Structure 1
Amino acid sequence: MRILIVFNNVSKIYPNNEFGIEKISLEIKDGDFVFLVGKTGSGKSTIINLLTGDIKPTSGDIIVNNLLLNQLSQKDFPYYRRILGIIHNDYLLIENKTVYQNLEIAMLATGQSGKAIRKAIPLALGLVGMTKKMEEYPQNLSGGEIFKILMARAVVNNPKIIIADEPTAHLDYDSSLDIMSLFSDINQLGITVIIATHAKEFVDIMKKRVITLQNGKILGDVSKGKYGWII
């Protein structure tokens, strides 16, 4: 498999002079499933936010799908975001729009045609088992259902990469297990999945690649690993 993501000696220093990450180098292949684990402040969210382009590195290079993010112009940035499906606690559904309309807005933002929208939305909702909720409003959905809609919105534009930050933080065990199973299904479609999480039990069950962070540095990087493995 080709290398899809490269961090080359990347550091991020915040305005308070604290390191988010320090001199991190890593490679993620096309089709990988990666858990980023570690305590709060270890650097997980910094890596996520660097990948989404919400922040820029202080030093080092980040290459995603052959694009050097450091040199990406404002004009080219929307093109880059098209290859990403982002699931973040801050990226909420619009309350006064139906499920269908929420996904439609995500597709219109990337310039998709009406025909493509009408085809893609039922497929995305079907992938997460939410087809029957197409005309519902967010306030009528459970927490687990809302997260499934967020997943559908993330995949509706057929991204190369799904990025999720603490996806199970506000869900019960059964809903969390269901969501992690859906991430695995999405990965089986060939989409690279990167999840920052504290959910030890699910990391241990799934036995995917586990990158352990501590104080902004990589402490361990284990294929088919468990939470906290550093060999």
Structure 2
Amino acid sequence: MRILIIFHNVSKTYPNNEMGVENVSLEIKDGDFVFLVGQTGSGKSTLINLLTGELKPTTGDIIVNNLSLGSLNHKDFPYYRRLLGIINYDCLLIEHKTIYQNLEIPMLATGHSSKSIRESIPLALGLVGMSKKMYDYPSNLSGGETFKVLMARAVINNPKIIIADEPTAHLDYDSSLDIMSLFNEINQLGITIIIATHAKEFVDIMKKRVITMQNGKVLGDVSKGKYGWII
């Protein structure tokens, strides 16, 4: 597999001089499934925000799909974001719009035709087992169902990378297990998955690549690892 993401000696220092990440170098291959683990404040969210472009590194370079993020100008950035499907609870569904309309919005924003929208939305909802909820409103969904729709929205524009920050934080065990199984199915389609999580039990069950962060540094990087493995 080709290398899709490169962090080369990346550091991020916040205005209060707090170090977010320090001298991080790592590579993620196309189609990889990666868990980012570590205690709160270890640097997981900083690493994700650097990857999404929400933050810029203080030093170092980040290259994604042969694009150097440091060289992207304002007009190039929307093109880069199309490579990403981002899932977090800060970007919730619009309550007064149906599930179909919520998924329609990102497709309209990226210039898809009406025909493409009509075909793609049922496919995305079918992928996560939510076809029957297409015309429901978000208030009618459970927490697990809501997250499945967030997953469908993330894949609707055929991203190369799915990024999720603490995806099981608000879900019960059964719903969390269901969500992790769906991430695995999406990964089987060739989409790279990057998940920041504290959910030790699911990291251990999945046996994917585990990158452990501590004090802004990569402490461990283990293929088919478990939570906390650093060898």
Q: TM-score, normalised by structure 1?
A: 0.99
Paired position in structure 2 for 1:207? 207
For the residues of structure 2 that align with 1:89 and 1:197, how far apart are their CA atoms?
A: 13
Q: Write the letter of the residue equivalent to 1:170.
A: H
The answer on 1:101 being equivalent to 2:101 is yes
For the residues of structure 1 that align with 2:159 and 2:129, how far apart are their CA atoms?
A: 19
Paired position in structure 1 for 2:75? 75
Deviations, residues 193-212 of structure 1 (Å, cap 9, x unaligned): 00000000000000000000
For the residues of structure 2 that align with 1:141 and 1:78, how far apart are their CA atoms?
A: 30
For the residues of structure 1 that align with 2:79 and 2:198, how far apart are their CA atoms?
A: 31
For the residues of structure 2 that align with 1:16 and 1:117, how far apart are their CA atoms?
A: 45
Paired position in structure 1 for 2:225? 225
The answer on 1:151 being equivalent to 2:151 is yes
The secondary structure found in structure 2 opposite 1:204 is helix
Runs of 4+ in 1 over 3 A off after TM superposition: none
Q: Write the letter of the residue equivalent to 1:103.
A: L
For the residues of structure 1 that align with 2:71 and 2:41, how far apart are their CA atoms?
A: 27
Cα deviation, residue 71, structure 1: 1.3
Deviations, residues 29-51 of structure 1 (Å, cap 9, x unaligned): 00000000000000000011111
Cα deviation, residue 110, structure 1: 1.2
Paired position in structure 1 for 2:136? 136
Paired position in structure 2 for 1:64? 64
For the residues of structure 1 that align with 2:88 and 2:74, how far apart are their CA atoms?
A: 22
Q: Write the letter of the residue equivalent to 1:227.
A: Y
For the residues of structure 1 that align with 2:98 and 2:35, how far apart are their CA atoms?
A: 32
Cα deviation, residue 162, structure 1: 0.2
Deviations, residues 144-196 of structure 1 (Å, cap 9, x unaligned): 00000000000010100000000000000000000000000000000000000
Paired position in structure 1 for 2:160? 160
After superposition, residues 171-190 of structure 1 pair within 5 angstroms as 171-190=171-190
For the residues of structure 1 that align with 2:166 and 2:98, how far apart are their CA atoms?
A: 25
For the residues of structure 2 that align with 1:110 and 1:26, how far apart are their CA atoms?
A: 30
Q: Write the letter of the residue equivalent to 2:84.
A: L
Deviations, residues 7-41 of structure 1 (Å, cap 9, x unaligned): 00000001110110000000000000000000000
Cα deviation, residue 106, structure 1: 1.1
After superposition, residues 2-151 of structure 1 pair within 5 angstroms as 2-151=2-151
For the residues of structure 2 that align with 1:57 and 1:91, how far apart are their CA atoms?
A: 23
Q: Runs of 5+ in structure 1 lacking a partner?
A: none
The secondary structure found in structure 1 opposite 2:90 is coil
The secondary structure found in structure 2 opposite 1:42 is coil
Q: Write the letter of the residue equivalent to 1:114.
A: S
Cα deviation, residue 109, structure 1: 1.2
Q: TM-score, normalised by structure 2?
A: 0.99
For the residues of structure 2 that align with 1:196 and 1:133, how far apart are their CA atoms?
A: 28
